Amino acid sequence: MDFSPIIYVKCALAAFTWLVFFLLVIKRKNIERLAQSIHIQRLTVELLNTELQMKLHPVGPERMALFEKCDAIKSELRTSSGLPSHCTSNTPNENSTPENVVSLHAKRLNKRVV
């Protein structure tokens, strides 16, 4: 049976578009990451603008409201970027100092003895 060449072209185009669709399904995490990064960028700009406005105001209820807004944006930013909402990375960790390690001073003393 003779088919029109237009159908072959349509079929080829549809197959190519299906491949693109399949590729997008496989790479869907990249689309999610792109959306996430755009969201984080928007939040960062908003945070900077709010902080700038906050510093222009004198101490008072308006500045307090802006400060709370900054806190809310920071919290959302931490959640969006995968960090915990109460990040304690700057605070010293009590368990980080091991007890059973010889101090450098003691090691030097030992060397002198030897």
The contact set with another protein (CB under 8 A) reads: 1, 3-4, 6-8, 10-11, 13-15, 17-18, 20-22, 24-25, 28, 31-32, 34-36, 38-39, 76, 79-80, 82
CB of 9 to another protein, least distance (A): 9
Nearest to 73 by CA among 85, 63, 64: 85
CB of 100 to another protein, least distance (A): 32
Nearer to another protein, 5 or 61 (CB): 5
